[in-house]
Amino acid sequence: MSFKRRIRKRSILIAAIPLILSWTFFLKIRVDDINDRIKQDLKQTSFVVSSTPTVQENLEERKNDFTIQNYVKKYMETFENVDIIVVGDMTEEKYSHLDESQIGKKYVNSDAKRVVKTGESYYSTMKGSMGVTLRYFEPVYYKGKQVGFVMVGKYLKDVEAVTNRIIYIGLFSLVVVMIITIFLSESFARKIKKEMLGMEPDEIARLYNEKKVILNTISEGIIAIDKNKKILEINDNCLKIFENLNIDELIEKLSYYIDKKESIDMKEFNISGEKTFITLDFIKDEDRELGALITLVKSEDINRVAREITGIDELLKNIRANVHEFKNKLHVILGLINIEEYEEAKKYIAECQEEVLKSSTRVANINDNFISAMLISKRLIANENNISFKINEKSYMKETHGNISSVDLITILGNLIENAFDACLEKEGQGQVDVFIDEDEENVIIEVSDNGKKIDEEIKDDIFKNGVSSKGKGRGIGLSTIKGRVDLYGGNIEIKEFRKQKKFRITIKRRE
């Protein structure tokens, strides 16, 4: 049997069974409700009639002068579910009846004897002079003494007619609904088949298994989500590589980009205490949004390459700065020798040697070779630009920094120093840049001060946003990069401005 036929058959069964049961239950409740309402009306009417003083007094005095008949006849017109009201005394003589010829005659049926003898209230079904009726008997009391009874009845043929009408309407509705159900199930089966691209379930299963195999061969972590941020698929490598990955935390951190429909291309996040590069791409079918694909790569894999590249770059930068510096010094020495100023040449060489030794001691407590090399190159650049560059003698940095990579520290410190140099060059007079670095078991602290140009008031509040700078178009990336690195480790940035100086202080918490 084809998938389409199975869908059609099961849809009809699923719809028909509860529909038939519910309609049967509904009809029973509806019929019971009608019967209950009729019984309630009979009971209420009999109580009202039996409580009427006119009825009570006439029965006590046995005045069968149509007073009760006239009262009952008028009263009966106000009740929809009452067809007959009979009032009788203790001898079962009738004081009211639908057929006035019956007034004064004895009550024929035996169902009245119980109310006369015991004074009970009860229902009864019996054939009378006007046909089979559902009856309710109520005793009539006058001053504590039973003086008669009231029988209120409803013709059963009317009750059965109403009941049958409801049943016929219900059955007709059920047939109509079943026809509609069959039509809709056929339409549903066609639609399902269409959405399945005309494929059978075994074909879909094969494609799904192939997709699973392909996903699991990808070395990166892959997570597919729907447009409501619910997980659709996670490949095996994602669970293997990121063992402590908190999916809820990941989705929460990406919620802003998902809600804004903003793609991400290799942006670094701190997820479950682990730095991770994430790419977010949205999945669409023509103009219909289906969800998003999240790709995760461990930062240490990226940083392994980046560290090598950055180390080479810093080394080359350091070498270039040193070559340029020593070329200048060699030119001076060569000039002194050419003019035969040998003593001056010796004196100058000694000064150069002392300067080199002094520069080395300035970074002696910086045990991270990458940071140390970067600081030396910055000092040489400062000399070229006539900027006083000092590293606080109390500075201290370990060789490694727990969870904080040297690459990130170079990015933070290097950009801070470059910005300080730029600020000094924009102001007249000699610039001065001071650096202080300290590291303990809990924090890495970096302070960079300069006496350069102050921060513009117009951009002060947005200074860490990408592209915001007073230097013109194409600048304003450095501080944004610093902010991104600091936020990655949950650190903070403080800016203090004094009359002739400003200071950037960065505190980053380190973990082993």
* Helix (H), strand (E), coil (C) string for 385-397: CCEEEEECCCCCE
The two three-digit tokens of residue 477, written as one number: 């990336």
Residue 302 has pLDDT above 80, yes or no: no
473 band by pLDDT with thresholds 50, 70 and 90: very low
User: Do residues 327 and 335 touch, judged by C-beta distance below 8 A?
Assistant: no
Residue 408 identity: D
Helix axis angle, 67-76 relative to 53-61, nearest 10°?
A: 150
Residue 4, class by beta-carbon neighbours within 10 Å (0-12 exposed, 13-18 middle, 19+ buried)? middle
What pLDDT is stored for residue 270 in this prediction? Answer: 85
Distance CA 62, CA 240 (A): 101
Give the chain's domains with CATH numbers: 3-161 (3.30.450.20), 201-297 (3.30.450.20), 302-509 (3.30.565.10)
Higher per-residue confidence, 99 vs 210:
99
Residue 82 φ/ψ, nearest 5 degrees: -120, 120
209 and 23 Cβ atoms separated by less than 8 Å: no
pTM of the model: 0.43
Mean pLDDT along residues 331-350: 80
Between 167 and 412, the higher pLDDT residue: 412
**pLDDT value at residue 475:** 45
Pairing of strands 431-439, 288-298: unpaired
29: tokens are: 């409740």
pLDDT above 60 (res 180): yes
What number of residues does the chain have?
Answer: 512
- Residue 195's CB is within 10 A of a number of other CB atoms, namely 8
Beginning with the edge strand found earlier in the chain, give each strand of the sheet holding 84-89 in spatial order.
94-96, 84-89, 145-155, 131-142, 122-128
Q: How far apart are alpha carbons 195 and 198 in whole angstroms?
A: 7
**Do 276 and 299 form a contact (C-beta atoms < 8 A)?**
yes
- Residue 407 confidence (pLDDT): 84
Average pLDDT over residues 455-482: 69
In 3-state terms the chain splits into helix, strand, coil percentages (rounded to 5) of: 50, 25, 25
- Percentage of residues of the chain with pLDDT beyond 90: 16
User: Residue 383 corresponds to which tokens in the numbers above?
Assistant: 């000399």
pLDDT tens-digit map of 197-227: 666 677 777 777 777 777 777 778 888 888 8
